[in-house]
Structure 1
């Protein structure tokens, strides 16, 4: 039979409509951080819904990190400022329910890191470059001290984190800085157990140090494209083994 094909419609619950309107008010600036929503009773009147519907909407908004609602507080829920924690929570949830695969997360990290490096190679200050060198030196110190055990790995990991944080700050883009931190922490959580089980973590550390040294040398020379290529290749070499073979093509697409 001809004619258009229609999709089934989804019944929308009342609390979802409340959530949508409050989110729109926050996004438009009609509600600002530190401000208050109307009281539960007033929300019931304005939305023409029950108390249970209002409370369900407030639970959802609080879970999304948009408001803080205290039981028994006579005032309305407080609108919270945006924090990286809210983005972290959302992306972690997506990864846990497999809406985001490890391959997609690693690919996004490759994109973010190379973009940060391209910008930092041009915009970095001498002080920021010194921070990167200091972080690499701390990585080498952890390895040279024979600290390939758990404690040494923690010291090495902290220095590696300091390196990537310094690069992200040097990019001058706050959103890159936030997203890089969020994506990196999620990826590392997903593969933490497998890294711990690596038979030769010392070899991984040495390879990582060499890669960081090559990247920072290219940045010092102002060759952002080279530094970015080196970073993407190093990240591919490090993570590809944790990604299913059928999904590695998504990572190789970023290599040159």
Structure 2
């Protein structure tokens, strides 16, 4: 997941301009004000919010209401609540986990159907391969080659769970090779939902993933975007047809 470290400093409550809150859904209004301060740059990643006592006085709310707002912001990935003498509420630099968890929840709630998932995966992967072919570095290629070697080793050892994890990670490494964080986060989310989908249909064995990976790497090394996209598309169409067949037979 994409993260960065920042040195913490405490923001001054007098400079932030917090406003008193109306009683109705007060915790949501508090959270909205803090989000706005982050959006405008008055609160930055690594900043520590003023103490609970000072914040509740500024907002004119109880500490329980304030804590409810802080917990909501923590769940959304905006802040981190730390305990101890050096603790407090700290603004986070951001994490792809919020998006990934959101997509996974949508899948479990039924808002994302298996056919949506498989279709989106094919479209996204084609774009990722084409862009990665243009932008990837030697380090990116080395990471992909190491992944395929590790997957082959796991396959030979009969460790199918490790192999499956490595196959999913291959797609995340490809997305990272685009050097676009939005693409990378989106792929992480799709592959996490894919993990849940595959877990639901059960394990399946195929002999075509590793040979396809090796052909794809050859095309990527040659910077042959058209051949690389064609290889990925052919592989995914075959894989997704297999997945949907297993899914449909499971529903019967």
Scaled by the length of structure 2, what TM-score is found?
Answer: 0.73
Structure 1's unaligned 5+ residue stretches are 1-11, 248-256
1:44 aligns with 2:44: no
Which residue number in structure 2 is paired with residue 14 of structure 1? 26
| Residue aligning to 1:219 | 220
Instruction: Provide the residue aligned with 2:170 in structure 1.
Output: 163
Task: Supply the distance in 2 between the matched residues of 1:69 and 1:129 (Cα, whole angstroms).
Answer: 38
Is 1:37–1:78's contact at 8 Å kept on the other side of the alignment? yes
The whole-number CA distance in structure 1 between the counterparts of 2:240 and 2:73 is 35
Query: CA offset at residue 162 of structure 1?
Result: 5.1
CA RMSD of aligned residues (A): 3.1
The alpha-carbon deviation at position 93 of structure 1 amounts to 2.5
Residue 20 of structure 2 is matched in structure 1 by: none
* d(CA) in 1 for partners of 2:61, 2:119: 44
Q: Distance in 2 between matches of 1:188 and 1:92?
A: 9
Matched, 1:184 2:191: yes
Question: Which residues of 2 match residues 45-194 of structure 1 at below 5 A?
Answer: 45-70=57-82, 76-143=88-155, 145=156, 147-148=157-158, 152-161=159-168, 163-194=170-201
Query: What's the CA shift for 1:75?
Result: 6.6
Separation (CA, whole Å) in 1 of partners of 2:41 and 2:114? 35
Q: Could you give the per-residue CA deviations for residues 58-96 of structure 1, whole angstroms, max 9, x where no partner exists?
A: 111111121122468797522122122233233323323
Q: 1:219 to 1:21 in 2, by over 3 A?
A: same
Tell me what 2:3 maps to: none
2: CA distance between counterparts of 1:71 and 1:131?
37
Q: Distance in 1 between matches of 2:86 and 2:161?
A: 46
**Comparing 161-170 with 236-245, which one deviates more in the overlay?**
236-245
Alignment of 1:193-232 (within 5 A): 193-196=200-203, 198=204, 201=205, 204=206, 206-232=207-233
Q: Aligned residue pairs: how many?
A: 224
From 31, 35, 40, the counterpart of 1:23 = 35
The whole-number CA distance in structure 2 between the counterparts of 1:157 and 1:74 is 41
Structure-2 change in CA distance of 1:243 and 1:166 (3 Å): same
Deviations 1:118-141 (A, max 9, x none): 112122334543443443344334
SS in 2 for 1:77: strand
Partner of 1:253: none
- 1:64 touches 1:90 (CA, 8 Å); kept in 2? no
Residues 179-226 of structure 1: per-residue CA shift (max 9 Å, x gap): 323321231123214232x3xx1xx1x111232233223323322133
Give me the TM-score of the superposition, normalised by structure 1.
0.72
Moved more, 223-232 or 126-135: 126-135
Q: Any idea what SS the aligned residue of 1:222 has?
A: coil
Segment drifting more, 236-245 vs 36-45: 236-245
Which residue does 1:238 correspond to in 2? 239
Per-residue deviation, 1:114: 2.1
Show structure 2 runs of 5+ residues with no match.
Answer: 1-23
